[in-house]
Copies of this chain bind each other. A is one copy, B any other.
């Protein structure tokens, strides 16, 4: 009997980029096999896709409810162990909830839910279920992000006094200036993607990156969002001033109209002993600043890195790994949790990350709508 974890997939069929990302990530460490799926709302499309990627079609189900129903009939040692939820945003919550209620482990794409209220319900559901739950803030799987987290935890930069996170993209620029396009893009439709576009889609990664790397929680924020056109109510750009429980302050900068930017997630954290910088587009470099010593550039795979970082690197220094490998690291952590093996805090983002993310999104929009006032996070 295979020792691979039995993985189910919801959504992510066809050319879905998120589908490819999760599928490859699950393969990379030899520890998952896809045994069931609803790749697409249309059953035939779903079956054909399974054939195309050469997965047995016997457990391709016509819809999500059928998947749950049929899988529960199987003996536990054959049943899907964990389901990856890659469907459109508004389906994350009902699917994740039902999965948890039926004892499945869940890997959920972000945003975990479309509202903070749903997020708290899901949190309560998980507490009862006691299964494993991960939300895929993929970027936390990069070895140098993990190294940043561990260095901060170990005091390498001392007490944090300034945090600056950026997530700049330009992809919505060719859409936003044409009324037809901006009215018909699902990302700009609150029904489909929740109350925020920019903060909800990418600001939330910047937020999560701050809390993941620093280990601190953002206490309050003041946000100013931008729409460009009055007939579009969804933010496509915005900046949030943030404060922590300490005397540190910071800023989260996001944009989808930073024309020409690709996927510009950047985080900088400064403490009284030094600073750290990391850029997603060049993920294998971590810049370590200090006052009186030369800049240091950390790279993956070297013995000087922390265990958490080294666990995420497969090849020797100088062999660039990328975003598939980052996601694979998250899948690896989840596999350990599912198997009851020892794993470390930080190997995958958890329900708490998901809950706080929704708290962040709603607080940002609330701050903006009320005239750029300070809003406390819970």
- Measured CB to CB, the residues of A under 8 A from B are 2-4, 17, 20-21, 23-24, 27-28, 30-31, 33, 51-54, 157, 161-162, 164, 168-171, 173-174, 177, 222, 224, 226, 228-229, 237, 239, 241, 247, 249, 251, 253, 255, 257-264, 268, 270-275, 280-284, 288-299, 302-304, 314-325, 372, 374
Interface residue from B53, B229, B268, B372 paired with A374 (Cβ < 8 Å): B372
Q: Which residues of B contact A247 (CB under 8 A)?
A: 226, 228-229
- The answer to whether A315 and B321 touch across the interface, beta carbons within 8 angstroms, is no
Q: List 8 A-B contacts (CB under 8 A).
A: A24-B314, A162-B237, A260-B290, A261-B289, A281-B318, A292-B304, A295-B296, A295-B299
Residue on B with the closest CB to A56?
Answer: B2
Residues A275 and B292 in contact, CB atoms below 8 Å apart: no
Known: A162-B255, A170-B291, A272-B173. A249 touches B263 (CB 8 A): no
| Cβ contact within 8 Å between A173 and B257 | no
Knowing A260-B290, A272-B259 are in contact, say whether A320-B162 is a contact too (CB < 8 A): no
Other than the given A258-B275, A262-B316, 16 more pairs (CB < 8 A) read A4-B54, A17-B315, A30-B52, A162-B237, A173-B291, A257-B270, A258-B270, A259-B271, A260-B289, A260-B290, A281-B284, A292-B302, A295-B296, A322-B322, A322-B325, A372-B372
CA–CA, A24 to B174, complex, Å?
Answer: 36
Select A161's contact among B174, B228, B289, beta carbons within 8 Å.
Answer: B228
Measured between beta carbons, the chain B residues less than 8 angstroms from A23 are 30
Min distance, Cβ A31 to any Cβ of chain B, angstroms: 7
Given A241-B239, A292-B304, A318 and B259 contact (CB-CB distance below 8 Å): no
CA distance A317 to B323 in the complex (A): 12
In angstroms, Cα B325 to Cα A239, docked, is: 35
For A374, the closest partner residue in chain B by CB is B372
Q: A260-B289, A289-B259, A294-B304 known; A321 and B324 CB under 8 Å?
A: yes
Q: A290's closest neighbor in chain B, by CB? A: B260
Q: Would you give the shortest CB distance from A222 to chain B, in whole angstroms?
A: 6
Is the CB–CB distance between B258 and A268 below 8 Å?
yes
Closest to A263 in B: B318
In the complex the two chains form, is A275's CB within 8 Å of B294's CB? no
CB distance A162 to B257 under 8 Å?
yes
With contacts A164-B253, A296-B296 taken as known, whether A315 is within 8 angstroms of B241 at the C-beta atoms is: no
- Contact assessment for B289 and A294 in the assembled complex, using a CB-CB cutoff below 8 Å: no
